[in-house]
Structure 1
Amino acid sequence: MIFRCLTVRRKILSEDHFEVAGILVHLARLTLLKITSDIKVNNDLSTPHLVKAKQLVNDSIRITEGILNPSRENRKKLNSTFAMEREKIGAIVVLLQALEVVGLLEAARKRIQAPAFDYQHVEQALRRCISLYNEPHTRNVVSKALRQHYLKCLHSLTLIVQHDPDISDAPQMQGLLGESQRIVKLLGEENNTK
Structure 2
Amino acid sequence: MQISEILFPELCLLGEQATSRKKALQILAQSLQQHDNALDDFEVLKALITREQLGSTAIGNGVALPHARTADCQKPVGALLSLEEGVDFSAPDQEVVDLMFCLLVPENYDFQKLGGLNQIVELFQDKVLRAQIRNAHNGQALYDIMLGALEMCDSVELKENAPNNETNHS
TM norm structure 1: 0.27
Which of structures 1 and 2 has the larger relative contact order (alpha carbons within 8 angstroms, sep 6+)? Answer: 2
Q: Which has the higher strand share?
A: 2
TM norm structure 2: 0.30
